[in-house]
């Protein structure tokens, strides 16, 4: 794996004082979040995880434009069963990323139960109406909701969890970023491209890791931006629009790819070379399989 040219020395991955390390994964009822939670469990971590859907069969997501909610599989209960099957502890916590009170309550629940976590994986994102709207169709209320869910409330969760990492002597943060925040869409929304509001909110989210490293790397906290690549999740497929994006050349990868990459970033000393830039899940997994 190529290393940067700079000679800066990075600290190794923090060591936990506990027999088993603990991770908090957000948005883990389905898709990348669920696979990531299970991958950490398989690696021997106790896993706390959040989602809006508690029981199987009750999950819904809003459409990309306007209309009725769409049913999707996945739940905290189902993910918990998969984690416990790995022989580790599962701590399911309901959290709605669009509700600030829910975000702080979820963080407090995990910290009350465990005191601190060794790894925080910020995978959840705001699923709102209008994220495929074209520029002149964007409603400010929808754009504002995406900024709250994808940036402000992510920051709120980090502000709750980060001090416990510092007090414990270190930790690792992994933020699932989006290529849409860095790359211009190849076509209009619905024709192979993506909407402005979602991309703009994820661009703001992508600045958090660098700020955390600037302030807390010397105190043992490492923050990574992880690009999962183009993953067609259950909710993404249900909401539609992914076929047109795939037709423009964005080939999907399984959700297990970013899940494996996240575990590697959290546990490998070599992962430090990805600090200060975007780590790409496909490149990490390709190197692991080489």
The domain that contains 42 carries what CATH number? Answer: 3.40.50.720
pTM, rounded to two decimals: 0.86
Q: Is the pLDDT of residue 197 over 80?
A: yes
Asked if the structure places residue 9 within a domain, the reply is no
pLDDT tens per residue, range 107-132: 999 999 999 999 999 999 887 888 88
Asked whether residue 186 is domain-assigned, the answer is yes
Asked if pLDDT for residue 3 goes beyond 80, the answer is no
Under 8 Å between Cβ of 200 and 180? no
- 263's CB contacts (< 8 A; 6+ apart) are 36, 39, 40, 43
Asked if pLDDT for residue 246 goes beyond 60, the answer is no
Q: Is residue 7 part of a domain?
A: no
pLDDT digits (tens, 9 = 90+) for 80-117: 999 999 999 999 999 999 999 999 999 999 999 999 99
Ranked by mean pLDDT, the top range of 10-14, 212-216, 238-242 is: 212-216
Q: Is residue 151 part of a domain?
A: yes
Q: With respect to residue 167, please indicate whether it lies within any of the assigned structural domains.
A: yes
Tell me how many domains the chain contains.
1
User: Is position 38 within any domain?
Assistant: yes
Answer yes or no: is 13 within a domain.
no
Taking the mean position of all CA atoms in its chain, how far away is CA 275? 17
Question: For 13-22, 37-46, 267-276, which range has the lowest pLDDT when averaged over its residues?
Answer: 13-22
**Domain membership of residue 46 as a residue range:** 22-289
| Confidence label for 234 from pLDDT (cuts 50, 70 and 90) | low
């Amino acid at each position: 794996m190529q290393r940067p040219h700079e000679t800066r020395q990075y600290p190794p991955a923090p060591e936990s004082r506990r027999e088993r390390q603990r991770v908090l994964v957000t948005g883990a009822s389905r898709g990348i979040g669920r696979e990531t939670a299970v991958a950490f469990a398989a690696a021997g971590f106790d896993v706390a995880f959040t989602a809006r859907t508690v029981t199987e069969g009750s999950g819904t997501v809003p459409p990309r434009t306007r209309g009725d909610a769409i049913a999707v599989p996945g739940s905290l209960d189902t993910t918990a069963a998969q984690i416990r099957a790995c022989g580790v502890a599962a701590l399911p916590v309901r959290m709605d990323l669009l509700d600030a009170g829910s975000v702080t309550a979820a963080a407090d629940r995990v910290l009350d139960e465990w005191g601190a976590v060794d790894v925080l994986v910020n995978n959840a994102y705001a699923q709102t109406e209008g994220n495929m709207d074209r520029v002149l169709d964007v409603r400010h209320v929808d754009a504002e909701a995406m900024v709250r869910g994808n940036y402000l409330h992510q920051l709120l969760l980090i502000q709750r969890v980060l001090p416990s990492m510092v007090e414990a002597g270190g930790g690792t943060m992994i933020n699932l970023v989006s290529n849409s925040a860095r790359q211009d869409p190849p076509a209009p929304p619905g024709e192979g491209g993506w909407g402005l509001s979602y991309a703009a909110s994820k661009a703001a989210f992508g600045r958090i890791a660098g700020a955390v490293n600037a302030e807390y790397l010397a105190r043992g906290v490492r923050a990574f931006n992880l690009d999962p690549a183009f993953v067609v999740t259950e909710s993404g497929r249900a909401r539609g629009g992914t076929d047109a994006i795939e037709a423009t050349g964005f080939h999907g990868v399984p959700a297990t790819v970013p899940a494996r990459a996240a575990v590697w970033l959290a546990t490998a000393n070599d992962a430090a070379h990805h600090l200060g830039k975007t780590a790409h899940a496909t490149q990490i997994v390709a190197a692991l399989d080489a």
